[in-house]
């Protein structure tokens, strides 16, 4: 069996450093190039530390996936060590938009046509279970992270998109009982101050969280349950040991663990070449505006939902959990150009959707790294004895919570580890060694498709 080595250095930054010549009036005086979420819940800045010489389970990566697994395993009485290359909270789990949904890149209609209704129902029931796992985690662990069921508005620019959306949601209602309401153009203005959209679907039971506070809550609960969390300590090698288990090597020392879970998603690096050939890392970008007067906020996003444009290249907008700022995400998968550059572009994009955003300044602009897969499915696998969960294709808040726990149950060997996501092959592409050079081109193609569909 081979060894797995990492070239990842501590805290490999993607805080972009090129400051360009963009209009300075767009930026608030206290502009930051760090996630808005870190104002309330910064990552735990820790010193590198030696891992314990032995553990039942070593988890690589302290994001939502790794921490949910650690919590379940520690509660089941296992000695768990969680190792992260960066500060605790360095990864995408504290950088995302905080949408809690049931999103899969394969529609219910597509799954039904390809595999039959029973399979589509089984998959989408698990999407619901993933959503429910966040609700349960927040409730049972009493994590104060602004979780709320606010409803999601899926916006359509063209009649064709609107009809597609209605058909898909009608199928889900018939087979799963999921609720939705289609809103005509005349009602969209009651939801968002934009004239771009010809209609929308309101899905009332989806939610949102403050991802920084959610992650901090998970860190605290996992540590309280007995898991050892170590930051700034990259795993450089995972080597099988004769007779069972693995040596998990870091610059600070080695842990011998019976089981290993790799939960590194978009930050996976070269630690495990088999995994690297199967993941497609890509960057996503967000901005936050400075605080708005309540009257202005009530005019721009009066109903306080999460909003997405019904496109392949996702555009999303929401209020901050305290209701004071607008958060906006787009340009996923485009090349990093610098936080100011990207922030100014996103600001202009947001103002094309809601024109009054042009009167606001940006307080934060940041990026985070996700991972897609070649078949656009999330995956949970055991390969060469090592466990992995990830490749969530932008839905890691529910899927990381859910599959992190599933991975723990699989390690414990109990029936709760069963999931439809473990039953699929995990494909790669010939010649793909991990460099995602094709992502900008693919995103451009998605953008063209979106523009065509919204004509």
Ligand X SMILES: Cc1cc2nc3c(=O)[nH]c(=O)nc-3n(C[C@H](O)[C@H](O)[C@H](O)COP(=O)(O)OP(=O)(O)OC[C@H]3O[C@@H](n4cnc5c(N)ncnc54)[C@H](O)[C@@H]3O)c2cc1C
Binding site for ligand X (CB under 6 A): 6, 8, 60-66, 83-86, 90-93, 95-99, 234-235, 263-269, 271, 284, 286, 329, 368, 370, 390, 392, 394-398, 400
Which candidate, 381, 388, 370, 382, places its Cα nearest to that of 436?
Answer: 370
What is the nearest approach in angstroms of ligand X to the Cβ of residue 417? 17
Round to whole Å and give the CA distance between 384 and 386: 6
CB of 55 to ligand X, least distance (A): 14
- What is the nearest approach in angstroms of ligand X to the Cβ of residue 83? 5
Q: Residue 240's beta-bridge partner residues? A: 246
Tally of CA atoms within 13 A in the half-sphere of 203 that contains its CB: 24
Whose Cβ is closer to ligand X: residue 284's or residue 381's?
284
Q: Which is nearer to ligand X, 62 or 112 (CB)?
A: 62
Q: How far is the CB of 86 from ligand X (least distance, A)?
A: 4
Q: Which is nearer to ligand X, 234 or 321 (CB)?
A: 234
Query: How many whole angstroms separate alpha carbon 196 and alpha carbon 190?
Result: 13
- Residue of 337, 327, 316 lying closest to 440 (CA atoms): 337
For the bound state, the minimum distance from the C-beta of residue 281 to ligand X, rounded and expressed in Å, comes to 10
Contact 390, 304 (CB under 8 A): no
Helix locations, 177-277, DSSP H:
185-188, 211-224, 273-276
Alpha helices in 85-229 (DSSP H): 108-115, 117-140, 159-176, 185-188, 211-224
Q: Which residue is nearest to ligand X (CB)?
A: 396
- In the chain, how long is the greatest CA-to-CA distance? 68
Whichever of 95 and 410 has its CB closer to ligand X, that residue is 95
Q: Report the nearest approach of ligand X to the CB of residue 96 (Å).
A: 3
Give the bridge partners for 60, in sequence order. 83, 262
For ligand X, the closer CB: 158 or 274: 274
Q: Quote the DSSP letter at residue 293.
A: P
- Considering the complex, what minimum distance in angstroms separates the CB of residue 44 from ligand X? 11
User: Which residue's CB is nearer to ligand X, number 7 or number 174?
Assistant: 7
Q: Are 212 and 199 in contact, with CB atoms under 8 Å apart? A: no
Backbone angles phi, psi at 41, to 5 degrees: -145, 75
Report the nearest approach of ligand X to the CB of residue 195 (Å). Answer: 25
CB closer to ligand X out of 162 and 310? 310
Q: Which is nearer to ligand X, 162 or 426 (CB)?
A: 426
Contact assessment for residue 134 and residue 215, using Cβ atoms and an 8 Å cutoff: no
């Amino acid at each position: 069996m081979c060894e797995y080595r990492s070239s990842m250095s501590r805290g490999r930054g993607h805080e972009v450093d090129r400051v360009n010549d963009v209009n300075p009036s767009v930026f608030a005086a206290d502009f930051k190039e760090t996630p808005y979420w870190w104002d309330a819940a910064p990552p735990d800045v820790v010193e590198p530390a030696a891992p314990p010489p032995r553990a039942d389970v070593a988890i690589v990566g302290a994001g939502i996936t790794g921490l949910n697994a650690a919590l379940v395993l520690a509660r089941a009485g296992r000695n768990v060590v969680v190792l992260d290359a960066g500060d605790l909270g360095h990864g995408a789990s504290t950088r995302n938009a905080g949408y809690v949904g049931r999103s899969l890149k394969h529609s219910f209609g597509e799954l039904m046509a390809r595999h039959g209704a029973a399979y589509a129902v089984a998959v989408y029931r698990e999407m619901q279970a993933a959503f429910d796992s966040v609700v349960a985690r927040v409730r049972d662990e009493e994590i104060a992270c602004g979780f709320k069921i606010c409803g999601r508005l899926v916006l359509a620019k063209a009649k064709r998109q609107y009809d597609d959306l209605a058909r898909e949601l009608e199928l889900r209602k018939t087979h799963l009982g999921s609720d939705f309401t289609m809103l005509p153009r005349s009602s969209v203005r009651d939801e968002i101050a934009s004239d771009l959209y010809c209609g929308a679907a309101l899905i009332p039971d989806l939610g949102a969280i403050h991802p920084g506070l959610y992650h901090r809550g998970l860190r605290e609960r996992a540590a309280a349950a007995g898991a050892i969390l170590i930051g700034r300590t990259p795993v450089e090698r995972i080597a099988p040991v004769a007779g069972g288990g693995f040596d998990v090597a870091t610059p600070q020392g080695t842990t011998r663990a019976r089981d290993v879970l790799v939960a590194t998603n978009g930050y996976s690096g070269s630690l495990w070449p088999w995994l690297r050939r199967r993941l497609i890392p890509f960057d996503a970008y967000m901005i936050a505006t400075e605080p708005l007067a309540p009257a202005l906020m009530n005019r721009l996003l009066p109903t306080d939902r999460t909003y997405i444009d019904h496109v392949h290249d996702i555009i999303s907008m929401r209020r901050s959990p305290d209701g004071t700022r607008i958060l906006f995400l787009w340009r996923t998968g485009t090349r990093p150009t610098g936080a100011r550059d990207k922030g100014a572009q996103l600001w202009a994009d947001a103002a094309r959707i809601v024109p009054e955003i042009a009167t606001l300044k940006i307080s934060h602009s940041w990026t985070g790294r996700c991972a897609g897969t070649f078949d656009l499915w999330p995956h949970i696998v055991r390969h060469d004895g090592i466990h992995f969960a990830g490749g969530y294709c932008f839905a890691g808040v529910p899927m990381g919570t859910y599959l992190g726990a599933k991975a723990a149950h699989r390690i414990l060997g109990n029936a709760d580890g069963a999931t439809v996501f473990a039953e699929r092959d995990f494909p790669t592409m010939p010649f793909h060694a991990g460099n995602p050079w094709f992502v900008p081109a693919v995103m451009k193609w998605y953008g063209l498709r979106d523009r065509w569909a919204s004509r």
